[in-house]
Structure 1
Amino acid sequence: MNKEKKIKIIISIVAISFIQGLQYSVSPVLGQIQSYYAGVDISLVQMLVTAPALLAMIVALVSGWLVLKISKKKLLVFGCLVAGIAGFLPFLSDSFELLFFSRTFYGVGLGLACALNTAVVAEFFEGDERVTVMGIQASSIGAGMVVISTLGGKLGAYGFRASYFINIVGFLSMVVIALLLPDTGKARVSGKDKIRLNKKVFAVSFIGIVEVLFLMSYTTNIAMHISGKLAGDTMVSGILTGVFAAAQIVMGLLLGRVTKIFGNYSLPAAMLSFCAGAVIVMCFPSSYLGLIIGAVFCGFSQGMFVPQAMCEVSNAVKPVAAAMAAAIFTCALCIGQLLSPIVLNAASKLFFGNVTTTYVFLIAAIGMGIAGILVSIRQFAQGSAMRT
């Protein structure tokens, strides 16, 4: 494959990643939405970020089978179209129900983007080059989050409904993919190369549920956590979400080097990075510098964990099963997203008597720390077993 074709594919991957970034388009204005729809439960408001995972989970699973019937390119173009349309639906009526539906409907595009983005990388790149491109993919998701959340925060200064205009990204990505991504047709399965998964795919996917369960506390709580003179400033919350995404970009670009340093302990290292970030955010809700430092550590966590885990599940199976392996992992991430506000808010009320962002960050930090240590022990045990 020549250099020009590789560049076109990478640009297409970036466009797909921007569709994934749209998940966080409402994150900077959650505080405004909560105030405007005062009678709506806080968990439902927070689920505007996580609700797309409901359909994304189903669509991702189906996409593992659909690639045998429809080409990845056609599926991705359709996913971008859905993402764009869903983003503008809330303009039809000033209703929380319609807003919630539109965010859920966007999950169709999100599910296709999440599962097939990795499948595209696995189809065109191998070995160390695959790890590098997977890092670029993670960086471009972060770049999408930076652009979308920052612009969303700025548009939010004119009212939260103005932030919906950022969803034009869906249509722009559709054009890029239609023009640049090669159409290799539907996947073909021979008698010998059937779609088969293994224990590693499911083990890494389970760890993914835990990671996202706690990690999502950042994007669903940060806008409501900032206090003091910073409270209520949508631009500040947008910048903080952007810093989180920027850290993800940096980590994605350095992924190849970072994973060589941490080796088999890359996943637990990513989990412990979030612990540090959550503690800092919890302790400095009114400090701009403290919140930015916390955002960086949380962003590093996502930037390292997701692409590395995606590499592990795609490398664990034959190429024909890469889309299904990615779909299983995507479903795991979606489950974690869906459960995050419900579980963490319930735990806050159970242990502390009420729900506050400080308590949620504390629970997330402790939970992720315990999980990171357990995964480290698991990795050490597996390494010892291989050496004996």
Structure 2
Amino acid sequence: MSEKKQSLALLAIFSFAFIAMGVGTITPAIASIAAAFPSVGFSTILLVSTIPSLVSIPVAIIGGSIAGKSVKYRTLVIFATIVFVIGGVVPYFLDNFITILVSRAFFGLGLGLIMPLNTSLIFNLIPPDKQANIMGINGVVMNIGGIVLQLLGGVFASIAWNYSFLAHALGLITLLLVILFLPEPKKHQFPAGAEASQEKLKLPGSIYGWALVFLIVTILDFPSLTNMSFVLQTIGANSSVAGIVLMFMTVGGMLAGTVFGKIYQRMGKQTLNIGFAFFIASQVIFAFSQSVVLFIIGEALMGVGLTLVMTSINMLAGASVHPSQTPMAMSIIVSGMNLGGFLSGYVYAAIMGALGITTLRFQYFCGTAGFIALLIVFLILFTKNKSAPA
């Protein structure tokens, strides 16, 4: 691929990354949506944010199994973008909560394909020696998209709750760039010999382990997204302020993405632990903060942690499989993340209900303890291996 074509391909890949964090677009509007439907319970309201993650799970697995095989990458990427736009915008026109949930489930069809396909395209179109840096830049673009979408979601929600859904229309720009510039990755050839090829097709067990880690991480960090507008209300902040606060998660993620390649080259697997340390700091701040400024700092720290952890897992997993297996590997890992996003609210509701706890800040104490446990586990596992995998 010529340098010009590779640059245009990267533009298309990055535009796809731009909408990858679209699930967070309406998080600043959760409190406004709840106010618009006072007869709907809190856990049911959260389905507006979490049901796309649930639908994404089987979609990601199916997409990963067919991408580059029975269905072209380009076809799946275009389909995912179209569904993202349609499913994302339609709730603006609705006033029935059930039909809104149905449209959010449809939105999940596109969402389930976006992140695994985005990562797989990097592993299949970019030379191995450039992948860490491109993954870092990809994270920057992903977080810029998150900033724009969340900020628009919060600002629009201050007008009316349903306006927040209009921010998804930005996906039309992605659709245009993908159609114009995204090439179809070449099919990879296996070494000669049926046995070698068959062996290559077996996913390592570590992929499922990384999916479990992603599930736990998402359960722990999700309250910092979905419940933030409610917590900020307790200190007098409205939905537009919540949008600004949440935006700084993506600011932190963007900053981390700009230096990820250098950090990963130097620290290798330990980059994951650095990310956990940032997560811990963010949860401590959320648990005790009484000012918007501190919440902003906490969200920025969480964004750094999320980018370092997510991208480290993707790099470690991608290095352990053949390029032709990356769609399936990334789909399994992203499914862990999506399942964690769906389960998070129910896990905390069950724990808080059993203990009779009503303050939402309890979830941040749980997040602190959980991330400390993960840090200890991976410090033990990685202490003797600081180099990045070949």
Regarding TM over 0.5, the answer is yes
Q: Are 2:231 and 1:225 equivalent residues in the alignment?
A: yes
What amino acid maps onto 2:325 in structure 1? A
Counterpart position of 1:321: 325
Q: Which runs of 5+ in 1 are unaligned?
A: none
- Distance in 2 of aligned mates of 1:158 and 1:91: 12
Pair 1:121-2:122 in alignment: yes
Range that drifts further, 340-349 or 137-146? 340-349
Distance 1:294 1:128 in 2: 34
CA contact (8 A) 1:314 1:322 kept: yes
Give the distance between the partners of 1:268 and 1:16, measured in 2 at CA.
28
Structure 1 residue 100 displacement after superposition:
1.7
Letter in 1 for 2:59: V
Residue 349 of structure 1 deviates from its aligned partner by 2.7
Say yes or no: does 1:311 pair with 2:315.
yes
SS at match of 2:379: helix
- Alpha-carbon spacing, 1:250–1:196, altered in 2? closer, same or farther (3 Å): same
Q: Could you tell me how far apart the structure 2 residues matched to 1:62 and 1:85 are?
A: 21
Which deviates the most, 220-229 or 157-166?
A: 220-229
CA distance in 2, matches of 1:122, 1:115: 11
Shift of residue 283 of structure 1? 0.9
- The verdict on how the C-alpha distance between 1:356 and 1:188 changes in structure 2, with shifts beyond 3 A counting, is farther
Please name the residue that 1:107 is paired with: 108
Which of 222, 245, 249 does residue 240 from structure 1 map onto? 245
3-state DSSP of counterpart to 1:157: helix
Tell me how far apart the structure 1 counterparts of residues 39 and 378 of structure 2 sit (CA, whole Å).
41
Distance 1:300 1:184 in 2: 31
CA drift of 1:316 comes to 0.3
Match of 1:39 in 2: 39
Counterpart of 1:207 in structure 2 is 213
Q: Which residue of structure 1 aligns with residue 19 of structure 2?
A: 19
TM-score normalised to structure 1 length: 0.92
Equivalent residues of 1:277, 1:298 under 8 A apart: yes
Deviations 1:71-94 (A, max 9, x none): 101110011001111012224430
Structure 2 CA distance for aligned equivalents of residues 74 and 201 of structure 1:
26
Using the alignment, how far apart are the partners of 1:108 and 1:187 within structure 2? Answer: 27
1:80 aligns with 2:81: yes
Any idea what the Cα deviations from partners look like across 1:8-36, whole Å, max 9, x if unmatched?
A: 12211222112222111110101111122
Equivalent position SS for 1:20: coil
Do residues 154 (structure 1) and 158 (structure 2) align? no
Query: Structure 1 vs Structure 2: percent identity of aligned residues?
Result: 22
Q: Kindly report the root-mean-square deviation, in angstroms, between the aligned alpha carbons of the 2 structures.
A: 2.0
Report the counterpart of residue 381 of structure 2 in structure 1.
Answer: 378
Distance in structure 2 (CA, Å) of the matches to 1:263 and 1:347: 36
1:162 is aligned with what amino acid?
Y
2:10 equivalent in structure 1: 10
1:356 paired residue number: 359
Q: How many residues align?
A: 380
The CA deviation at 1:117 is 0.6
Question: Are the aligned partners of 2:125 and 2:185 in contact in 1 as well (CA < 8 Å)?
Answer: no
The offset of 1:306, in angstroms, is 0.8
| Equivalent residue, structure 2, for 1:173 | 174
1:228 Cα deviation after fit: 5.4
Scaled by the length of structure 2, what TM-score is found?
Answer: 0.92
Q: Distance in 1 between matches of 2:54 and 2:111?
A: 10
Post-superposition offset of 1:350: 2.7
Name the SS for the 1:193 alignment partner: helix
Gaps of 5+ in 2: none
Match of 2:306 in 1: 302
Question: Offset of 1:185 from its aligned partner?
Answer: 6.5
What is the CA distance between 1:143 and its match in structure 2? 0.8
The alpha carbon displacement at 1:261 in A equals 4.4
Residue 197 of structure 1 corresponds to 203
